[in-house]
Amino acid sequence: MEELDDRTAVVTGAGSGIGRGIALVLAERGADVVVSDIDPGAAQAVADEVRSLGRAAHAIPADVTDRVSTDALAAVAVERLSQIDILVNNAGVGGAPGWWQRSNPSPEDWEATYDVNVIGIVNTTSSFQDHLKERRSGRIVNIASGAGRRGTGGFAHYSATKAAAINVSQGYALQLAPYDINVNCVCPGLLWTPLWEKIAERDRIKSGETVLTGRQVFDRRLEASTPLGREQTPEDVGKLAAFLASGRSRNITGQSINLNGGSYMN
Protein backbone atom coordinates (compact mmCIF):
# COMPACT_ATOMS: atom_id res chain seq x y z
CA MET A 1 0.00 0.00 0.00
CA GLU A 2 1.95 2.99 -1.28
CA GLU A 3 -0.32 5.74 0.05
CA LEU A 4 2.50 8.30 0.19
CA ASP A 5 3.80 8.00 -3.37
CA ASP A 6 5.44 11.20 -4.59
CA ARG A 7 5.39 12.64 -1.07
CA THR A 8 8.42 13.95 0.75
CA ALA A 9 8.96 13.86 4.50
CA VAL A 10 11.31 15.25 7.12
CA VAL A 11 11.67 13.32 10.38
CA THR A 12 13.66 14.78 13.29
CA GLY A 13 15.35 12.58 15.85
CA ALA A 14 15.27 9.85 13.22
CA GLY A 15 18.62 8.25 14.00
CA SER A 16 17.17 5.65 16.36
CA GLY A 17 14.07 4.44 18.20
CA ILE A 18 10.70 5.88 17.24
CA GLY A 19 12.15 8.28 14.68
CA ARG A 20 13.87 5.47 12.81
CA GLY A 21 10.64 3.46 12.82
CA ILE A 22 8.68 6.41 11.43
CA ALA A 23 11.23 7.09 8.67
CA LEU A 24 11.20 3.48 7.53
CA VAL A 25 7.40 3.16 7.50
CA LEU A 26 7.03 6.42 5.56
CA ALA A 27 9.52 5.05 3.02
CA GLU A 28 7.67 1.73 2.82
CA ARG A 29 4.49 3.72 2.06
CA GLY A 30 6.20 5.50 -0.82
CA ALA A 31 7.71 8.69 0.61
CA ASP A 32 11.18 10.08 0.08
CA VAL A 33 12.67 10.97 3.46
CA VAL A 34 15.02 13.51 5.00
CA VAL A 35 16.49 11.74 8.02
CA SER A 36 17.54 14.35 10.57
CA ASP A 37 19.29 13.75 13.86
CA ILE A 38 21.80 15.54 16.05
CA ASP A 39 24.07 12.50 15.50
CA PRO A 40 25.25 12.61 11.85
CA GLY A 41 26.36 8.97 11.83
CA ALA A 42 23.00 7.72 13.12
CA ALA A 43 21.15 9.84 10.55
CA GLN A 44 23.31 8.44 7.74
CA ALA A 45 22.73 4.84 8.85
CA VAL A 46 18.95 5.25 8.77
CA ALA A 47 19.12 7.11 5.44
CA ASP A 48 20.95 4.08 4.04
CA GLU A 49 18.11 1.86 5.30
CA VAL A 50 15.56 4.11 3.59
CA ARG A 51 17.47 3.83 0.32
CA SER A 52 17.46 0.05 0.63
CA LEU A 53 13.66 0.29 0.48
CA GLY A 54 13.91 1.98 -2.90
CA ARG A 55 13.22 5.55 -1.80
CA ALA A 56 15.39 8.65 -1.95
CA ALA A 57 16.91 9.62 1.37
CA HIS A 58 19.05 12.47 2.66
CA ALA A 59 20.81 12.56 6.04
CA ILE A 60 20.83 16.13 7.32
CA PRO A 61 22.10 16.68 10.88
CA ALA A 62 20.27 19.29 12.94
CA ASP A 63 19.97 20.48 16.52
CA VAL A 64 16.28 21.27 17.06
CA THR A 65 17.07 23.52 20.03
CA ASP A 66 18.86 25.94 17.68
CA ARG A 67 16.69 27.94 15.28
CA VAL A 68 19.67 28.61 13.02
CA SER A 69 20.14 24.84 12.72
CA THR A 70 16.47 24.14 11.93
CA ASP A 71 16.43 26.97 9.39
CA ALA A 72 19.41 25.33 7.69
CA LEU A 73 17.63 21.96 7.83
CA ALA A 74 14.61 23.43 6.07
CA ALA A 75 16.69 25.18 3.43
CA VAL A 76 18.72 22.09 2.56
CA ALA A 77 15.68 19.78 2.65
CA VAL A 78 13.76 21.98 0.21
CA GLU A 79 16.82 22.36 -2.00
CA ARG A 80 17.32 18.60 -2.24
CA LEU A 81 13.70 17.48 -2.53
CA SER A 82 12.15 20.58 -4.17
CA GLN A 83 9.17 20.40 -1.83
CA ILE A 84 8.29 19.11 1.62
CA ASP A 85 4.88 17.57 2.24
CA ILE A 86 5.28 16.02 5.69
CA LEU A 87 7.09 17.15 8.83
CA VAL A 88 7.41 14.78 11.77
CA ASN A 89 8.69 16.45 14.94
CA ASN A 90 9.98 13.43 16.80
CA ALA A 91 13.22 14.57 18.48
CA GLY A 92 12.94 14.17 22.24
CA VAL A 93 14.98 13.61 25.40
CA GLY A 94 14.34 12.41 28.93
CA GLY A 95 16.59 14.98 30.57
CA ALA A 96 20.11 16.32 30.66
CA PRO A 97 23.00 13.82 30.35
CA GLY A 98 22.83 11.27 33.16
CA TRP A 99 19.17 12.00 33.98
CA TRP A 100 18.36 8.32 34.46
CA GLN A 101 20.83 8.15 37.35
CA ARG A 102 18.99 10.83 39.37
CA SER A 103 16.05 10.00 41.60
CA ASN A 104 14.62 13.49 41.10
CA PRO A 105 15.01 15.76 38.07
CA SER A 106 17.59 18.51 38.31
CA PRO A 107 17.11 22.07 37.00
CA GLU A 108 19.23 21.01 34.04
CA ASP A 109 16.80 18.15 33.33
CA TRP A 110 13.88 20.59 33.24
CA GLU A 111 15.76 22.90 30.90
CA ALA A 112 16.97 20.15 28.56
CA THR A 113 13.56 18.51 28.16
CA TYR A 114 11.84 21.84 27.53
CA ASP A 115 14.46 22.91 24.99
CA VAL A 116 14.18 19.72 22.93
CA ASN A 117 10.63 18.48 23.53
CA VAL A 118 8.85 21.84 23.23
CA ILE A 119 11.12 24.48 21.71
CA GLY A 120 12.35 21.82 19.28
CA ILE A 121 8.81 21.53 17.87
CA VAL A 122 8.45 25.31 17.75
CA ASN A 123 11.81 25.85 16.02
CA THR A 124 11.37 23.16 13.40
CA THR A 125 7.75 24.02 12.63
CA SER A 126 8.66 27.70 12.37
CA SER A 127 11.47 26.87 9.96
CA PHE A 128 9.20 24.87 7.64
CA GLN A 129 5.88 26.66 7.95
CA ASP A 130 6.50 29.37 5.33
CA HIS A 131 7.27 26.70 2.75
CA LEU A 132 4.14 24.73 3.67
CA LYS A 133 1.98 27.85 3.73
CA GLU A 134 3.24 28.92 0.32
CA ARG A 135 2.25 25.52 -1.06
CA ARG A 136 -1.05 25.65 0.87
CA SER A 137 -0.66 22.03 1.80
CA GLY A 138 1.06 19.90 4.38
CA ARG A 139 0.93 17.47 7.26
CA ILE A 140 2.71 17.99 10.57
CA VAL A 141 2.86 15.11 13.04
CA ASN A 142 4.29 15.77 16.50
CA ILE A 143 5.35 12.89 18.71
CA ALA A 144 4.27 13.57 22.27
CA SER A 145 3.73 10.83 24.86
CA GLY A 146 1.11 9.25 27.04
CA ALA A 147 3.05 10.94 29.85
CA GLY A 148 1.59 14.21 28.58
CA ARG A 149 -1.89 13.00 29.47
CA ARG A 150 -1.28 12.78 33.22
CA GLY A 151 1.40 13.60 35.74
CA THR A 152 4.17 11.16 36.54
CA GLY A 153 5.75 11.00 39.97
CA GLY A 154 9.46 11.83 39.85
CA PHE A 155 9.27 12.42 36.11
CA ALA A 156 7.25 15.62 36.02
CA HIS A 157 9.81 17.46 33.91
CA TYR A 158 9.22 15.05 31.02
CA SER A 159 5.44 14.80 31.45
CA ALA A 160 5.11 18.58 31.52
CA THR A 161 6.95 18.98 28.22
CA LYS A 162 4.81 16.34 26.54
CA ALA A 163 1.65 18.04 27.79
CA ALA A 164 3.05 21.26 26.32
CA ALA A 165 3.73 19.47 23.02
CA ILE A 166 0.05 18.50 22.84
CA ASN A 167 -1.03 22.08 23.52
CA VAL A 168 1.46 23.54 21.06
CA SER A 169 0.14 21.15 18.41
CA GLN A 170 -3.39 22.41 18.96
CA GLY A 171 -2.19 25.99 18.61
CA TYR A 172 -0.43 25.25 15.33
CA ALA A 173 -3.48 23.33 14.09
CA LEU A 174 -5.59 26.48 14.48
CA GLN A 175 -2.91 28.76 13.08
CA LEU A 176 -2.19 26.68 9.97
CA ALA A 177 -5.68 25.37 9.15
CA PRO A 178 -6.42 28.24 6.70
CA TYR A 179 -3.49 26.96 4.60
CA ASP A 180 -4.82 23.37 4.52
CA ILE A 181 -2.05 22.20 6.84
CA ASN A 182 -3.06 19.52 9.32
CA VAL A 183 -1.26 19.27 12.66
CA ASN A 184 -1.73 16.28 14.95
CA CYS A 185 -0.02 14.51 17.84
CA VAL A 186 0.76 10.87 18.53
CA CYS A 187 0.94 9.83 22.20
CA PRO A 188 2.81 6.52 22.41
CA GLY A 189 2.72 4.30 25.47
CA LEU A 190 5.37 1.72 26.37
CA LEU A 191 8.06 1.08 23.77
CA TRP A 192 11.42 -0.57 24.26
CA THR A 193 13.59 2.15 22.72
CA PRO A 194 16.91 3.70 23.82
CA LEU A 195 14.90 6.27 25.83
CA TRP A 196 12.85 3.60 27.55
CA GLU A 197 15.96 1.55 28.32
CA LYS A 198 17.15 4.52 30.38
CA ILE A 199 13.72 4.99 32.00
CA ALA A 200 13.67 1.33 33.02
CA GLU A 201 17.19 1.56 34.39
CA ARG A 202 16.23 4.69 36.31
CA ASP A 203 13.21 2.91 37.81
CA ARG A 204 15.33 -0.10 38.68
CA ILE A 205 17.90 2.04 40.49
CA LYS A 206 15.26 4.13 42.25
CA SER A 207 13.42 1.06 43.57
CA GLY A 208 16.62 -0.63 44.73
CA GLU A 209 15.93 -3.56 42.42
CA THR A 210 18.96 -5.85 42.33
CA VAL A 211 17.57 -8.97 40.65
CA LEU A 212 15.57 -7.82 37.62
CA THR A 213 17.15 -6.32 34.53
CA GLY A 214 15.91 -3.07 33.01
CA ARG A 215 14.03 -5.05 30.37
CA GLN A 216 12.35 -7.15 33.04
CA VAL A 217 11.32 -3.99 34.90
CA PHE A 218 9.81 -2.73 31.64
CA ASP A 219 7.99 -6.02 31.04
CA ARG A 220 6.57 -5.99 34.57
CA ARG A 221 5.19 -2.50 34.09
CA LEU A 222 3.78 -3.49 30.71
CA GLU A 223 1.98 -6.49 32.15
CA ALA A 224 0.51 -4.44 34.99
CA SER A 225 -0.70 -1.49 32.93
CA THR A 226 -1.57 -2.56 29.38
CA PRO A 227 -4.88 -4.37 28.73
CA LEU A 228 -3.79 -5.66 25.31
CA GLY A 229 -0.74 -7.13 27.01
CA ARG A 230 1.82 -6.17 24.41
CA GLU A 231 4.30 -3.36 23.98
CA GLN A 232 4.06 -0.76 21.28
CA THR A 233 6.79 -0.58 18.65
CA PRO A 234 8.40 2.17 16.58
CA GLU A 235 6.69 0.58 13.57
CA ASP A 236 3.30 1.02 15.28
CA VAL A 237 4.04 4.73 15.73
CA GLY A 238 5.23 4.91 12.13
CA LYS A 239 1.98 3.42 10.84
CA LEU A 240 -0.10 5.97 12.74
CA ALA A 241 2.18 8.80 11.59
CA ALA A 242 1.81 7.56 8.00
CA PHE A 243 -1.97 7.62 8.31
CA LEU A 244 -1.91 11.16 9.70
CA ALA A 245 0.43 12.15 6.87
CA SER A 246 -1.86 10.72 4.19
CA GLY A 247 -4.91 12.01 2.38
CA ARG A 248 -7.07 9.68 4.46
CA SER A 249 -6.68 12.04 7.42
CA ARG A 250 -7.64 15.21 5.58
CA ASN A 251 -10.29 16.22 8.13
CA ILE A 252 -8.30 15.32 11.23
CA THR A 253 -6.39 18.17 12.83
CA GLY A 254 -5.57 19.35 16.34
CA GLN A 255 -5.95 15.82 17.70
CA SER A 256 -3.75 13.84 20.08
CA ILE A 257 -4.13 10.13 19.49
CA ASN A 258 -3.17 7.56 22.10
CA LEU A 259 -1.18 4.53 20.99
CA ASN A 260 -0.85 2.63 24.24
CA GLY A 261 -2.54 -0.77 24.15
CA GLY A 262 -5.41 0.59 26.25
CA SER A 263 -3.34 1.55 29.28
CA TYR A 264 -5.61 4.58 29.62
CA MET A 265 -8.39 5.84 27.43
CA ASN A 266 -9.64 9.32 26.56
How is the beta sheet containing 57-59 ordered, strand by strand? 57-59, 32-35, 8-11, 86-89, 138-143, 181-188, 256-259
> What's the per-residue H, E or C state across 115-132?
HHHHHHHHHHHHHHHHHH
- Whole-number Å distance between alpha carbons of 41 and 14: 11
Report whether 123 contacts 67 (CB < 8 A): yes
179 is catalytic: no
Pairing of strands 8-11, 32-35: parallel
* Nearest-angstrom CA–CA distance, 172 and 126: 10
Rounded to whole angstroms, the Cα distance separating 184 from 173 reads 7
Burial class (CB in 10 A: 0-12, 13-18, 19+), 1: exposed
A 10 A CB-CB count for 266 gives: 7
Active-site residue, from 158, 172, 179, 264: 158
**Catalytic residue ranges:** 158
